[in-house]
Amino acid sequence: MAPHMRATDMREVWASGHHTPADALRLSVQNSAKAWTALLDDEPIVMFGVGCRTVLDDTGSPWLLGTDRIAEVKHRFLRESRCYIYEMLAMFPRLENYVDARNKITLRWLKWCGFSIFPAEPYGLDWLPFHRILLRSKDV
């Protein structure tokens, strides 16, 4: 999936930690308590999951990296995404992460899923504007 990653996702993983698409996918899966891959025509089009921030914390860090082909199944993706968010919340009563402010489609989807989106602040190795996102199980 790495060679076909969306440009917005490639920019985000580079700005946050100077990761290549392949490294970002590998590290995200390795650090996940749970991860999923969605296929279309036997090809991965999106990978996502949730990792634990620290062993002493009840906060999960959700992540999602996709290809442009996700647009081909956008209605199904929207319908099913909340189920996965609820599954993440069952594991971690608090979900929090940072999203590149340039990633407008992802931010719109996160808001639709119920996440609070905070004002952008400098974040990551490139110190670019990122929004903190937050969803708590008591808020859904």
Select from 121, 133, 58, 51 the least CA-distant residue to 96: 133
Distance CA 129, CA 121 (A): 5
What pLDDT sits at residue 56? Answer: 78
What pLDDT sits at residue 57? Answer: 83
- pLDDT tens for 68-110 read 999 999 999 999 999 999 999 999 999 999 999 999 999 999 9
The structure's pTM equals 0.94
Distance CA 62, CA 10 (A): 17
Distance CA 40, CA 81 (A): 16
For 95, the domain range is 2-139
Q: What's the structural domain count of the chain?
A: 1
N-to-C CA span, the chain: 32
What DSSP line would sit under 111-135, residue for residue? HHTT-EEPPPEEETTTTEEEEEEEE
CATH code for the domain in which residue 113 is found:
3.40.630.30
Distance CA 120, CA 122 (A): 7
The residue among 5 and 55 whose pLDDT is bigger is 5
- pLDDT tens for 2-36 read 999 999 999 999 999 999 999 999 999 999 999 99
Q: Give 54's pLDDT tier (boundaries 50, 70, 90).
A: confident
